[in-house]
Amino acid sequence: MIRYLTHKEIDKVLWDECIAQSVNRRVYAFSWYLDIVCPGWDALVGGSYRHVFPLTHRRKWGVEYLYQPFFAQQLGLFSRDHLTPSILKEFIAAIPSNFRFLEIHLNSMNQNLPSEIEVVTRINHEMYLIPSHEQLYSNFAQNTRRNIRKALDNDVTIGRNPEAGELVALFRDHFGTREGVLKRRDYETIRSLIVKCQLENRGYILGAFSAGGLLSAAAFFLMDASRIYYLFSASAPMARDNGAMFLLIDHFLRENSGQELTLDFEGGNDPNLGRFYKSFGAAEVPYPMIRVNKLPAWMHRGLYFARKMGL
């Protein structure tokens, strides 16, 4: 039996046990993570927390809808048992009808969706870190190797744990102001997420510094079991000239190669980012985005533009 639970009805201890033991574990689905990126989330729960499906919702113009929170790439159905198309179909059918619009990302093991559901395939990039650094390096693109040498020639150095605020400011000042995708609340969300993870030894920031000591590039790596997420990164214009981000990732690979770990680059629909990740040897891993629209056309258009503007 699948139950719909409001946020206050969820047993977060049982929830987190399910995510920790699930065959498709992702850090985004733990209760502490969801509490930061989508306060007040609800859920579908099957059996005695054998299967769980977070419902990340908002309300706009009197309409309840499901959306994908920033910084949570893949959600959907998580299970302690083998996932089958029939179980996934049952959970999607159990989404309450009061959510008249939904546009959410499932995870890479949520496949074979019902034909009546609109599905868009999205791309993630992942690489296994079991080989030695020498083996990984042999698969780097020539341009990546050149940029690493360039960074070394320019005396770029790598250091741990710049402040979360420094990384967020680096992104906001050199990317965010141009793109305008993230709003103030989103910057506060990622800062809170990074700080919590640092305090609980779940992750760390690597910084790449120019010869003059300026922060050229930085990235936050979040650790969860055998998966490490390249969760949030930024670079200054000088990084294009001194190869800082290439050296930063190579440094991370040197520290973590030869272990039973997966580096999750967290993205790739952007062709430029996809090429960058592949230049280190990462492989494409597809996952589905589903869309269901039961709204009148005029309301759907308004909701679409509101979401695009981050309202």
Residues 240 and 159 in one domain: yes
Residues 177 and 105 in one domain: no
Residues 247 and 139 in one domain: yes
The answer to whether residue 164 sits within a structural domain is yes
Predicted confidence band at 309 (pLDDT cuts at 50, 70, 90)? very low
The answer to whether residue 19 sits within a structural domain is yes
Number of domains in the chain: 2
Burial of 178 (0-12, 13-18, 19+ CB in 10 A): exposed
pLDDT at 269: 83
Residues 142 and 102 in one domain: no
Which residues lie below 8 Å from residue 254, measured CB to CB, with a gap of 6+? Answer: 133
Rounded Cα distance between 141 and 135, Å, is 13
Query: Domain range spanning residue 218?
Result: 130-260
The answer to whether residue 100 sits within a structural domain is yes
pLDDT at 61: 81
Contact 291, 102 (CB under 8 A): yes
Predicted confidence band at 178 (pLDDT cuts at 50, 70, 90)? low
Residues 140 and 115 in one domain: no
Residues 249 and 144 in one domain: yes
Rounded Cα distance between 96 and 21, Å, is 26
The answer to whether residue 16 sits within a structural domain is yes
Q: Where are the beta strands (DSSP E) in the chain?
A: 2-5, 42-46, 51-55, 57-60, 63-66, 78-79, 99-105, 118-128, 157-160, 203-209, 215-224, 227-235, 262-264, 283-293
The 2-5 sheet, strands edge to edge: 2-5, 42-46, 51-55, 78-79
The CATH number that applies at residue 22 is: 3.40.630.30
At residue 155, does pLDDT exceed 70? yes
pTM, to two decimals: 0.93
The answer to whether residue 116 sits within a structural domain is yes
The answer to whether residue 278 sits within a structural domain is no
Residues 76 and 135 in one domain: no
Residues 95 and 134 in one domain: no
Residues 102-115 pLDDT 10s: 999 999 999 999 88
Contact 206, 248 (CB under 8 A): yes
The answer to whether residue 265 sits within a structural domain is no
Residues 105 and 142 in one domain: no
Which of 264, 224, 259, 254 lies closest to 246 in space, CA to CA?
Answer: 254
Query: Which DSSP string do the residues of 122-191 spell out, in sequence order?
Result: EEEEEEE--S-HHHHHHTS-HHHHHHHHHHHHTT-EEEE---HHHHHHHHIIIIIHHH--S-HHHHHHHH
Residues 116 and 152 in one domain: no
The answer to whether residue 30 sits within a structural domain is yes
At residue 262, does pLDDT exceed 60? yes
Rounded Cα distance between 278 and 281, Å, is 5
Residues 35-68 pLDDT 10s: 999 999 999 999 999 999 999 999 988 899 999 9
Residues 13 and 57 in one domain: yes
Rounded Cα distance between 13 and 11, Å, is 6
Residues 255 and 137 in one domain: yes
